[in-house]
Structures are given as C-alpha cells and as structure tokens.
Structure 1
Amino acid sequence: MSNIGMRIFPYINRPPKALIQAFSGIPVANIADNMNRMSCMDARIRPINDVPLLGPAFTVKSRPGDNLMLHKALDLAQPGDIIVVDAQGDLSNSIMGELMALWAKQRDIGGFIIDGAIRDIGALRKMGLPIYAAGVTPAGPYKDGPGELNVPVACGGVVVHPGDILVGDEDGIVVINPRDAESLLEKSKAKSDQEKKVMEDIANKAWDRRWVDQALLERGVVVVKENRISSRTNVQVPVSVIRNATEHFDAVAVNISTDGILLQTQHEFEVDRVIQLILPKELGNVNVVARVIWKHGNHIGCNFVDMPTEVRTAVDQAVYFQLSQNLKQASGDFI
C-alpha cells in the first residue's frame, strides 16, 4: 500500500557523467540567458562559499524543520549527487549542520541545495563542499517526518525532478532538464565565447554600443533635450532679443539656468516662436537660440535649443558663477 508523504524512491535516472561535466566552468548566468531566464532558483537560495556546484539532483521533500528524510538521503545518494531539499522555505529550524555535512563529504556527495535553514555555518564554509541555503539559525531540527525521497520538489521557486542537472556558482542555481542539456550546452558555450569577445572589445575601447540606441528607437523612446532639470539662479540683467531680421527688442533676464531663461518684456511673443538672444557679459557674452515655451503677462519662459558646445560651456559657467554669487549674498544676509 502506498503511504503518500512517507515514501522513498531509491532509484533515479542520472544523466551521463560526461554530459554533466561538460557544463563545468560555464557561468550560470550564461546558461540561464539561454533558458529565457525561466529556470533559475530565486535569490533566497544563496551559497555559503565560492565552491562551484555541479551534479544530478537527489531530491528530498520534508516537513518544515524536520530532517529525518534528509538523514536517509545521506545514506542513499551516490557520489556526485546534489541533495536538493524542499523544506518549504521554513527558517525556524535548521535541518543540516556540521556533522551531516562531514558525513556527506565522506561519501563524496556533490553538494546541497536547501530551501530552508542550516547551522554551524562557520564549519560548513571551511569544508570545501558547495552548500546553498535560504537562511541560518542555531535552532535544531526534529526527526519525525513526514517526508519523501526522489519526488518532484519545489526549491527556490523552481520545480526540481530527480536526475535534473544542477549548476551553481556565486550568482545562484540553474536547473536543467537532461533532455534539453545537449542543445543548451552548445548555446551556453557560444554565449561564453561571445562574452569573451565583448571583454576584448571593452579592453580595446571598441565595444559596439549601437544596439542601445536601436533598442530605444524601436521602443519609441524620445530624447527631450529641452527639459533637463538644472540649477536656476535669479538675475536682473538686460538682454537683446532678435525676433527676425528687422525686429530687435530689449528685455530683462529675470532668471537663467543651463537650459533656459525667463525674460521680462513689453513685447508680444507667441508660444513656439524661435528667437535669438544676445546675452551680456554677466551671462556668458554669447548669442543663443531659444524657443518660447510659455508666456504670462509680460514674462516669457524660453528653452535654449541647438547650443554648440562652446556656447553651452560659456552659459554653464556664467550660470554657476551667478548662482555662487547669489549664495554668497544670501549667506551674508544671515550674518
């Protein structure tokens, strides 16, 4: 009679060792990129050391805080197996510590992935055994069950079947169905070769970045050069305004930023009108082109447009000089 929740399936189908070992040295991130980011354990499952993990899954499903079935897994797992424990993410009780890890190492177990808590972490880190867990607590486990061995389990938000290939590094864990392994292996190797080429390009300052602008263009991103947030300072200086070849007016600059200017004038300017401004020495002593973006009474707000680098530099320097002068004056008012 089947006793659901208290069963052991001792026999599993393990992939060929050569196929498993072929993933050695391939970054987990490169493998995951070729799986559409769908088979990575979540960020709760973290390594306690930097020892890489690689091997077939030997699965354990346990009641939270109970390690009876994990103890049995230590005796049944074969050398190289990765023991994967679904402890339902519970962190109230550790389900593995130093003694169990020492026994696992004596039996050449390949490592542990535990969706639950562990303890004796100082000793575990020094063993050279790859161990991943969701947390650490000194509280010990119970040994009552229920639990099952070599059934599908949930670990780090991913379903793991007995015999799945597990690859782990400092970034985390990826789970590979053996049926997908050969094609995935070739793609992952190609990804690693591609990244090596990019690293060479970066070292030579030759990384082709055109894809970024292309991606932004395809997504409809608009570069709004006229609305940058920038420092603005109050001024009261005369400015000459050229509306067209025959119309020149005087105005007063009320405030200015590196992106625009507020003018006070008795003349009418419609919104979107492009005008030319002759800025005095206090504001950089340059000619700039501006567009009227709003008007209210005898004030008009303008954004600078198409500013050459040398003109923008002159305006920037003038703005920050005026800003520093205003700050000094304001500080003096409080002395």
Structure 2
Amino acid sequence: MTVDVQPLDPKVIEVLSGISTATLTTVLLKKGLRNVWMRGTRPIREGQPRLVGRAFTLRFVPAREDLATPESWSNPISTRAAIEAMPEGVICVADAMGVTDAGIFGDILCARLAKRKVAALITDGVVRDRAGVLGTGLPVWCQGAAAPPSVAGLTFVNWQEPIGCGGVAVFPNDVVVVDDDGAVLIPAKLLDAVMATAEEQEALESWIMGEVEGGASLPGLYPPNAENKARYEKSRGR
C-alpha cells in the first residue's frame, strides 16, 4: 500500500530554500540526528538550485533474472507507473543500494519527470544517457552515469514506502533539502522545530561570517561566547 503525498506549505519551501544543507545538518545534529546526509548524492551539473520538497520514494532491490527484464518496464509496478504517480513539486528519492553499474533512469524517464514538474531526482545510484539527462533540465543528484539499464543490476519493486538512500532512512512525506553539498533529510515530524531553529542558526552564522571578514579571530566567536552572543543579539535589535 502506497502513501499519499501531503502538500508542502509554500512558506516551508520559502524558508528552507534560504537554509543551506550544511546548516541543516548542524541543526539536526543538535536535535540528536547524525545520519541525515545521503551519501553519494552529488549534483550532476554545477549551478543547480537549492530545492525543497516532500520525498517521493522509489525502491530497487538486487537484480533477479526472472524479474529484472526489459518486459518488466510495462508492468503495473514499474518505474514508468511510479513516475505517473508523482505529483508536482515532490523530490523523487530512489534507493538504488549504491549500485553504480546500472543507470536507474535515462533521458526519456527524466524528461517525463521534468514534464510532470517533479522538483528533482535524488539517488545513491547512477543515471544513463547523461547528455540526454542534462538536456532535460531536470535537477539530478547521483553518483554519476553508467551505460547499462537498470535491469542489468537492479529490480524495481515499489514506490512510496520506506527506503534507504545513501545510508539514510527515508520515509514518504519526509522533507528533503538538496544543494551543492548533497541531499539532507528532515523527518516530517521535526519539520516545524527544524525550521524555527534553522532560520536562527543561518542568521547567526551569517553574522559570524561578517565578523570573520572584518578580521575577527575565531576563539569566542565560533561558537560565540556570552559577549559575542550579546553583540549578535544587539545586531538583531533584541
């Protein structure tokens, strides 16, 4: 049974679009979550924007010869059917088990994702038809490219169920933020608390950067001691 996608408040997207994944990992660390950065999720091209969206999950398992066939692409449970189930604005997160010798999606599937206005594709695996994928304009984070199709190394089994991507547990409707440093997961239940803390953390670090650029030394500044905290609060008009 798949999970319906919950709409994401535009305000959440607005706020988190201004928060780096580096800041988010720090905020989540302070809340006790260390394993939130998806390993191997590298931008396929430079200059991709920071993106925010609900996770729409895809799960692959190791290839089995009777299941992983070109004919399976026409099955009711297939990557093609999963794409047609994706609503606008989600971030597709695909668990490819770190397999790097079989591309989970190529140019045609990525073109359909772009046409459906899926925000991005994130996987701990690879894509194929790299030049064509780039041509679709779809933002992609992955481990690179490989010529063989997915069925050469993987079997697609379902969508919108818990997965592991890059060593991180991802549940449908968790929130994903992705930028040049890769993809970070925010558990759905922690979203409000993370947003509130992240905005403050980003503002503080921006102030600290200004102090560093002005010649200030790091001890007592990063992290700030009581004196510098007071200076920061004053700069914020508090």
TM-score range, shorter chain: 0.7 to 0.9
**Letter aligned with residue 187 of structure 2:** N
**Equivalent residue of 1:118, what SS?**
coil
What count of residue pairs does the alignment treat as equivalent? 207
Match of 1:112 in 2: 121
Structure 1: which 5+ runs fail to align?
1-7, 213-335
Distance 1:115 1:43, change over 3 A: closer
Distance 1:195 1:101, change over 3 A: same
Match of 2:26 in 1: 33
Match of 2:151 in 1: 142
Deviation at 1:191, TM superposition (A): 1.3
Match of 2:193 in 1: 183
User: Is 2:219 the counterpart of 1:209?
Assistant: yes
* Larger-Rg structure: 1
Q: Distance in 2 between matches of 1:135 and 1:208?
A: 37
Higher helix share: 2
**Equivalent residue of 1:136, what SS?**
coil
Sequence identity (%): 24
User: Is 2:155 the counterpart of 1:155?
Assistant: no
TM-score (norm 2): 0.77
* Greater mean alpha carbon deviation, residues 83-92 or residues 120-129: 120-129
**Equivalent residue of 1:92, what SS?**
coil
Deviation at 1:182, TM superposition (A): 1.4
Distance 1:115 1:46, change over 3 A: same
Q: Deviations over 1:206-246 (max 9, x none)?
A: 2442468xxxxxxxxxxxxxxxxxxxxxxxxxxxxxxxxxx
Higher RCO, 1 or 2 (CA under 8 Å, sep at least 6)?
Answer: 2
User: Is 2:57 the counterpart of 1:59?
Assistant: yes
Distance 1:207 1:61, change over 3 A: same
Match of 1:19 in 2: 12
Do the aligned partners of 2:15 and 2:199 also contact (CA within 8 Å) in 1? no
User: Is 2:104 the counterpart of 1:95?
Assistant: yes
Structure 2: which 5+ runs fail to align?
223-238
Q: Distance in 2 between matches of 1:98 and 1:56?
A: 23
Do the aligned partners of 1:26 and 1:192 also contact (CA within 8 Å) in 2? yes
Match of 2:177 in 1: 167
Q: Distance in 2 between matches of 1:202 and 1:122?
A: 41
Distance 1:14 1:158, change over 3 A: farther
User: Is 2:127 the counterpart of 1:131?
Assistant: no
Deviation at 1:123, TM superposition (A): 3.1
Match of 2:42 in 1: 46
Q: Distance in 1 between matches of 2:180 and 2:35?
A: 16
Do the aligned partners of 1:73 and 1:83 also contact (CA within 8 Å) in 2? no
Higher strand share: 1
Q: Distance in 2 between matches of 1:23 and 1:137?
A: 32
TM-score (norm 1): 0.56
Q: Distance in 2 between matches of 1:87 and 1:117?
A: 8
Deviation at 1:101, TM superposition (A): 0.8
**Equivalent residue of 1:163, what SS?**
coil
**Letter aligned with residue 90 of structure 1:** V
Do the aligned partners of 1:93 and 1:138 also contact (CA within 8 Å) in 2? yes
Q: Distance in 2 between matches of 1:72 and 1:190?
A: 41
Deviation at 1:78, TM superposition (A): 0.2
Superposed CA RMSD? 2.6
**Letter aligned with residue 219 of structure 2:** R
**Equivalent residue of 1:22, what SS?**
helix
Match of 1:322 in 2: none
Match of 2:86 in 1: 77
Do the aligned partners of 1:41 and 1:155 also contact (CA within 8 Å) in 2? no
Q: Deviations over 1:242-301 (max 9, x none)?
A: xxxxxxxxxxxxxxxxxxxxxxxxxxxxxxxxxxxxxxxxxxxxxxxxxxxxxxxxxxxx
Q: Distance in 1 between matches of 2:79 and 2:196?
A: 35
